[in-house]
Structure 1
Amino acid sequence: MIDKRKRAFSFYQEELIGEHGFLAEDETLLLDAVIALSLGKNILLKGPTGSGKTKLAESLSKLFGQPMQSVNCSVDTDTEALLGFKTITQNEGASKIEFIPGPVINAMEKGHLLYIDEINMAKPETLPILNSILDYRRMLANPLTAEVIHAKETFGVIAAVNEGYVGTVPLNEALKNRFIIIDIPYVQGEVLRNVIKQESKLDNEKMIDQFVRLSADLLVQVKSGIIPEEAASVRALIDTCDLAVYMEPLRAVRRGISDKLEEEREKAAVLNIASTLFK
């Protein structure tokens, strides 16, 4: 274990549990992520949208003092989006082909953290290129340049998935087996209250309590299958709290949460719950 990560592990609570850090009711989520990354393991964060996966990755980057190279996967993510691309450049009137490294190679060569968001949105045929960087080899044979790249010791990988969403595909076992998996649930109760105070512009204590109750009620509806998971997104709730500083809270809920949903019955369900809290 490298010295930097030993030092990070010794003061993780002081550094991250506080202003603008990752907050969760279960403190072992952060602890386990720190341990895994300190041991050179890859981390896969599973959880619904807006549950704090990216916030945890950013907090780990800050904790270890390592910049983070990010990839936001989609159905169009290909090898070039991960590794880089070739382009023609001009030098003293002469043209030459130059390789521009992408986030994966940048992270490997600089010893940064690599964050792969929504990794299960990428095409299955694209992801096997990552296998050799995710196991003990920590190397890559770049198919675009024929160069073999060995990652620096501080290199680490964090990935995130939202399971069951449109456009996602299950990760194959060979890839999933290369990760330590940490499940990130929605925050609730006192932890959510602290998140709202920390992340939003809202400082009205009574209204903050009402939004915490709204989140709990929405989550009950999500678990019952009445509304989709994105309706209970903490990210959407923070946006709504910001809006509520400048408009009526019920209107803020409509703009920040219900109007994002596709079906009218889902929108109505959210507004019915909100109307009982914000009269």
Structure 2
Amino acid sequence: MNIALPVAIEQQMQTRKKQFAYDEDAYLIGKGGYTTAAPYTLYDAIVALALGKNVLLKGPTGAGKTKLAETLSYLFGQPMHSINCSVDLDAEAMLGFKTIQEREGKPVIEFIPGPVIQAMTKGHLLYIDEINMAKPETLPILNGVLDYRKTLTNPFTGEVVKAKSTFGVIAAINEGYIGTVPLNEALKNRFIVIDVPYIQGDALKDVLRAQSILKDHSLIDRFVMLSADLIVQVQSGQISETAASIRALIDACDLAVYLPPLRAIERGIVEKLEDDREKAAVRNIAETLFE
């Protein structure tokens, strides 16, 4: 990471790395790898998290929000528990559930903590993906977790759970996406909001070289050009964000090692789209760059 951080922030990161080096959940630490042409995206997220702020990553689908969250986990050396939001998300999926266990030959009721309570009690990170996909009535249970109190009254046990000082929350949001709802202002106000732009140019080249098995530099350059053209179409409203997803682009690059590029793009990008007009638009762009 070629970012000069304030000494106090760097010390905070090193302290956490030492603290969690031998944590039983160390396997949950992210692998890192987030790259961007806008270095302050990462810098600002690091500072906010080190200061104990909740971080909301806002950006188009496939821009690298999850990879940024994993990179923060990696840089702090801190395990990260995850919640994938949907309309079916409920309190049990977030907090945990009761179950019957056998102890010394007798059935006893035990509470199995979920990702929120595990992250709080262990001082880990909590990643809430696509937070605006959850039903609005589901999230208020986290209000006390996300403000200065960092506490939660567990509705299943009546216990008041207090988070450890290193506990942190990272959430991701895709605005205007199908199935999403606007975040409640009281909830959004509990976060530091960081825009995560599309990765482009040399930064995208670095990502493709690091995360794809494609090693042909000439082909990689053309895939970077394809991405730039797709982003222009997304920004003008001609195609959906799915078409410009970095994940989909990496899939196409991987396939291009063994398939002709146009067929790789068909499998990795085009067929993920639903609209025939969008499919045709992507094909037309690809055909101008690949023979």
Under a length normalisation based on structure 2, what TM-score does the superposition of the two structures give? 0.90
Q: Which runs of 5+ in 1 are unaligned?
A: 10-18
Cα offset, 1:52, TM superposition: 0.7
Question: Aligned partners of 1:4, 1:37: CA distance in 2, in Å?
Answer: 10
| Residue correspondence of structure 1 range 75-86 to structure 2 within 5 A | 75-86=87-98
For each residue in 1:65-87, what CA deviation from the matched residue of structure 2 results, as whole angstroms up to 9, or x when unmatched? 11001111111001111000111
For each residue in 1:209-237, what CA deviation from the matched residue of structure 2 results, as whole angstroms up to 9, or x when unmatched? 00000001111111121110110001100
Cα offset, 1:3, TM superposition: 5.1
| Residue correspondence of structure 1 range 1-279 to structure 2 within 5 A | 4-5=12-13, 21-279=33-291
For each residue in 1:119-166, what CA deviation from the matched residue of structure 2 results, as whole angstroms up to 9, or x when unmatched? 111111110011001111011111111000100111000000111111
Is contact 1:20–1:198 with CA below 8 Å preserved after alignment?
Answer: no
Change in Cα spacing, 1:23 to 1:240, as seen in structure 2 (3 Å) is same
Question: Aligned partners of 1:203, 1:159: CA distance in 2, in Å?
Answer: 33
Identical positions, percent? 67
Q: Find the residue that maps to 2:127 and give its secondary structure.
A: strand
Change in Cα spacing, 1:78 to 1:45, as seen in structure 2 (3 Å) is same
User: What one-letter code is carried by the residue in structure 2 that aligns with 1:65?
Assistant: G
Under a length normalisation based on structure 1, what TM-score does the superposition of the two structures give? 0.94
User: What one-letter code is carried by the residue in structure 2 that aligns with 1:260?
Assistant: K
Question: Aligned partners of 1:268, 1:93: CA distance in 2, in Å?
Answer: 65
Cα offset, 1:4, TM superposition: 3.5
Is contact 1:139–1:149 with CA below 8 Å preserved after alignment?
Answer: yes
Is contact 1:196–1:238 with CA below 8 Å preserved after alignment?
Answer: yes
Q: Determine the structure 1 residue equivalent to 2:6.
A: none
Question: Aligned partners of 1:266, 1:259: CA distance in 2, in Å?
Answer: 10
Question: Aligned partners of 1:135, 1:43: CA distance in 2, in Å?
Answer: 12
- What is the total number of aligned residue pairs between the two structures? 270
Q: Determine the structure 1 residue equivalent to 2:25.
A: none
Q: Which runs of 5+ in 2 are unaligned?
A: 1-8, 18-30
User: What one-letter code is carried by the residue in structure 2 that aligns with 1:71?
Assistant: I
User: What one-letter code is carried by the residue in structure 2 that aligns with 1:147?
Assistant: E
Q: Determine the structure 1 residue equivalent to 2:27.
A: none
Question: Aligned partners of 1:250, 1:193: CA distance in 2, in Å?
Answer: 19
Question: Aligned partners of 1:261, 1:252: CA distance in 2, in Å?
Answer: 14
User: What one-letter code is carried by the residue in structure 2 that aligns with 1:5?
Assistant: M
CA root-mean-square deviation = 1.6
Cα offset, 1:116, TM superposition: 0.4
Cα offset, 1:49, TM superposition: 1.1
